[in-house]
């Protein structure tokens, strides 16, 4: 996700990987996830040890072992975090990206062509889907 680093380098944003945990409450229960990628911007950024709160963008790369949780449980939970504007699911193969946006009532936009353009509205970045799959057979 070097394109995110390049785009955000001069902004008050940080990119975190699964090394940092995201802790939140959903319907009264505590949850802790390790999203593959999350972006936190602005002064509201809160770091507590290996926890990071208040992301605006969360990206999960789907694998056979995590796809069901990412598509269902995490989608429900992430919708309850007020700071999250977009939740993006990226399939490994074939090219398939689903982007869920708060502003669109979490209805997914599906991009399944390398010619499609993925727009990260939360950070003001548009990139071709082809860029995400560069080097993937």
Least confidently predicted of 20-24, 60-64, 87-91, 122-126: 20-24
Tell me how far apart the terminal alpha carbons of the chain are, to the nearest angstrom: 17
| pLDDT value at residue 19 | 84
Does residue 54 or residue 85 have the better pLDDT?
Answer: 85
Q: Which domains does the chain have, with CATH numbers?
A: 2-132 (3.90.1570.10)
Q: Tell me the pTM.
A: 0.90
Q: Model confidence at 45, in pLDDT bands (50, 70, 90)? A: very low
Q: Model confidence at 137, in pLDDT bands (50, 70, 90)? A: confident
Rounded to an integer, what distance in angstroms lies between the CA atom of residue 75 and that of residue 82? 13
pLDDT in tens, 20-30: 888 888 788 88
Rounded to an integer, what distance in angstroms lies between the CA atom of residue 93 and that of residue 95? 5
Residue (of 110, 20, 25, 100) closest to 59 by Cα position = 100
Position 48 pLDDT exceeds 90: no
| Total residue length of the chain | 137
Residue (of 97, 81, 115, 73) closest to 1 by Cα position = 97
Burial of 3 (0-12, 13-18, 19+ CB in 10 A): middle
Q: Model confidence at 47, in pLDDT bands (50, 70, 90)? A: low
Q: Is 101:109 a contact under the CB 8 Å cutoff? A: yes
């Amino acid at each position: 996700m070097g394109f995110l680093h390049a785009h955000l380098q001069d902004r008050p944003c940080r990119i975190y990987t699964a090394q940092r945990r995201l802790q939140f409450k959903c319907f009264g229960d505590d949850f802790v996830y390790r999203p593959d990628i999350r972006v936190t911007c602005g002064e509201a950024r809160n770091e507590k040890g290996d926890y990071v709160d208040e992301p605006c963008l969360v990206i999960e790369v789907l694998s056979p072992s995590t796809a069901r949780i990412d598509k269902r449980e995490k989608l429900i939970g992430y919708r309850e975090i007020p700071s999250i504007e977009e939740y993006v699911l990226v399939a490994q193969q074939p090219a398939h990206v689903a982007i869920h946006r708060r502003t669109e009532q979490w209805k997914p936009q599906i991009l399944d062509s390398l010619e499609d353009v993925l727009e990260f509205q939360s950070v003001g970045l548009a990139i071709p889907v082809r860029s995400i799959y560069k080097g993937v057979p």
